[in-house]
A and B are shown apart, each in its own frame.
Chain A
Amino acid sequence: MIITRELTFTYIYASQPAIRNVNLEIEDGEFVLCLGATGSGKTTLCRCFNGLIPHFHKGKLEGCVKVNGLDTRFHPVYRLALNVGLVFQNPEEQLVALTVEKELAFGPENLAMERNEIIRRIKEVSDILGIGHLAGRRTFFLSGGEQQKVAIGSILALDPSILVLDEPTANLDPHSAEKLVEIVKKLNKDGVTVIVTEHRVDLFAKHATRAILMEKGHILMDGKPRDVLPSEEARRIGVTVKLIELYRKLSEAGLSLPYPPLSVDEACKLLEEALK
């Protein structure tokens, strides 16, 4: 569970806070989609969740963040890493080892786990992500999608209960992006709390239980995707979801659907009903 109270952070070199007065409560098992234009503070917020802010990125932190009861100001990143995992958008820049195996082992090795335990965790994570066949491969030669999976695997090896992904599909081709969404969905189903920041809303909209809009560091709106995505606020900050646009334009032309569809399946069902 993540709780933030009046969270405000100003980077050391900045004149304005990157995020202000953020109050959030994220329960276990939620699937949160965080949306906002570049510069809206999404990335800063992600880094607050796992302690990189304030321990790695210097600046002024006001308010507080409590992750599974731990106040991020008073616990080092490696302690928080057991609770929250953070996946960044560029898969290649996250991989530090020569081979996939060593990469997956990295986290457990850092925590001085026994060799047998490390091997067990690697196997578990490889099975979940379907990357067992990549074990001895060199990280440099993997495709973007494979690299991102390895990055996620390497974080899952620490068995965090919360997974934060910062624009995970930005550098992926459509096929890999879809595979990633499936994996994240599966993890959420298995009990991992998921927080994703993304621009490619349509990929995640149908799976998210909650959508948060951010603008200039504030939380603009926080609620169910079906309420948030078609809202005026979303439109104002530019959120573009094709199905929502379709819903809106049909509405304007007189054909009102009972609720905004978040997936092609839903849209199909609604339209078939409406066109009868």
Chain B
Amino acid sequence: MIRLEDVWHSYDGITYVLRGVSLEVGAGELVCIMGSNGSGKTTLVRIMGGLLKPTKGKAVIDNVDAYQYVKEGGSPKVGVVFHNPNHQIFSETVEKEIIFSLKAVGVGLREAEKRMKETLRRLGIEDLRIRNPLTLSEGEKRLVTLATMMAINPEIIIMDEPTAGQDWLNKRVINEVIKEMISVGRSIIIVTHDVEFCAELDARVIILHDGRIIIDGEAGKVLSNFEVLEKAGLRPPIVAELISRLMVKGTKWEYLPVKVDDAVSLILGKGVKLAENV
């Protein structure tokens, strides 16, 4: 469980990038954090990942200060899978890359090998095992860093733009892997622009703007709130936009279908939770 208590952060002592952010993510929860560039997302990721100490306020993981915790090293409770896999990769083979990380957090060799094989299998990239990670495509490299984090298996995994530049098949794999991890009690926090991906995940959605949380709720509700989305520089999911245009002018809604199946059901009259006036 990770909790942020009234976190403020400034890099230069003058402008605050984060202004009073408080949130809590429990075990088995899936959260998508969205916001435009400059909203403070990256700083939030670093603070939650225990890589940065907030200027004011606290970030705690199971009642232990996140920054202190990561500073001490050892088996991490939280791990961040960063946007650019090249910032991390340095081993000669994919398997060495993963095993190295596992050993660094104190996992024995035998267990490490087991976990490495397992995560490669889950991501469908066993054929990359003895390849040199530096020769892989960007998408494949991303999967390797994801595999590394999955093998380490911290309680909380934070992903920074996991779908950027990925093709459709990889996106699906990532989607499935996330759902699998949630089902075994991991907490996953995804920072992304990808509204459609968020919609497919049935996640809790938090939108950050100007360093503050401006909305926090379930995907169906948040992604239907066009004003808030626009403020954050995001477009609503395509199907939500479509349905909103089909409705009678002036209708107010609370929920719009954000997934294709829901939209289909609605159109065919099978009813999906919308709100009063439909």
| B-binding residues in A (CB < 8 A) | 36-39, 89, 143-144, 167, 170-171, 173-175, 178, 199, 202, 238-240, 242-243, 245-246, 249-250, 253-255, 264, 267-268, 271-272, 275
Contacts and interface: CB of A to CB of B under 8 A. Distances in A.
A264 B235 contact: no
A49 to B, nearest CB: 20
A175 B242 contact: no
Interface string B132-143: 000001111000
A7 to B, nearest CB: 21
Given A242-B239, A253-B264, A264-B238, A89 B165 contact: yes
A245 B196 CA distance: 13
Interface residues of B, number: 34
A170 B84 CA distance: 12
B164 interface: yes
B164 A238 contact: no
Nearest to A250: B264
B259 to A, nearest CB: 9
A178 B233 CA distance: 11
B260 A245 contact: yes
Interface of B: 36-37, 137-140, 164-172, 193, 195-196, 233-235, 237-239, 241-242, 245-246, 260-261, 263-264, 267-268
What is the predominant secondary structure among interface residues of chain B facing chain A? helix
Contacts of A239: 168
A268 B263 CA distance: 13
Contacts of A243: 238, 242
Contacts of A39: 137
Contacts of A38: 137-140, 166-167, 170
Contact of B245 (A245, A250, A254, A268): A268
